[in-house]
């Protein structure tokens, strides 16, 4: 039986679509929060939803804004500063691309489970060590 199609092609598992700006735990949470709240979220709402510290969130917002993924709006409400963040149209597009790439990761990863049995010991009988390999 032959290898699964394309399984060994160069870059098959490179996942170039995983944009580093979004592929970060905290920022992925921020993006997802904003995706689910089209009307935008306030600084403190984001802070709680993503369990971030003030400084941390502030920095990530800056990065996301500089990347053109979110819009940031400021005002004074009841004599206090207030910051609102929303996904930019561009940000929404790029986030969807990111999610699509992540779906490919999941699909690839789970496809392995299905194949597990039949591929058992394709290269080695039991453990590699019986074939002359040494650990470390």
| The entry of DNA, its own copies, none that residue 18 binds, CB within 5 to 8 Å by partner kind | its own copies
Smaller CB separation from DNA, 54 or 108: 54
Q: How far apart are CA 81 and CA 120, in angstroms?
A: 61
Q: Which residue in the set 80, 110, 126, 130 belongs to the binding site for its own copies (CB under 8 A)?
A: 110
Q: How far apart are CA 128 and CA 136, in angstroms?
A: 12
Residues in Cβ contact with 12 at an 8 Å cutoff, skipping those fewer than 6 apart: 6
| The entry of its own copies, DNA, none that residue 93 binds, CB within 5 to 8 Å by partner kind | none
Residue 57 CB, nearest approach to DNA (Å): 7
DSSP calls for 55-85: HHHHHHHHHHHHTTSEEEEEEEETTEEEEEE
Q: Is 83 in the site for DNA (CB under 7 A)?
A: yes
Label the pairing between strands 70-77 and 41-42. unpaired
CB neighbours of residue 134 within 10 Å: 6
| The entry of its own copies, DNA, none that residue 43 binds, CB within 5 to 8 Å by partner kind | DNA
Which residues of the shown chain bind its own copies in the complex (CB under 8 A)? 7-16, 18, 20, 23, 25, 28-33, 35-40, 45, 48-52, 71-75, 84, 86, 95, 99, 102-103, 105-106, 108-113, 115-116, 119-124, 128-129, 131-136
């Amino acid at each position: 039986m032959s290898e699964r199609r394309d399984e060994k092609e160069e870059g098959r598992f490179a996942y170039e679509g995983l944009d580093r700006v979004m592929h970060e735990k905290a920022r992925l949470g921020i993006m997802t929060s904003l995706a689910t709240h089209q009307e935008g979220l306030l600084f403190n709402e984001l802070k709680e939803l993503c369990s971030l510290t003030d400084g941390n969130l502030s920095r990530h917002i800056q990065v996301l804004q500089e990347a053109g993924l979110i819009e940031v709006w400021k005002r004074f409400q009841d004599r206090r500063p207030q910051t609102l963040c929303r996904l930019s149209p561009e940000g929404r597009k790029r986030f969807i691309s990111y999610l699509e790439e992540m779906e490919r990761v999941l699909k690839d990863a789970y496809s392995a489970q299905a194949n597990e049995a039949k591929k058992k010991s394709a290269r080695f009988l039991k453990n590699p060590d019986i074939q002359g390999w040494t650990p470390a």
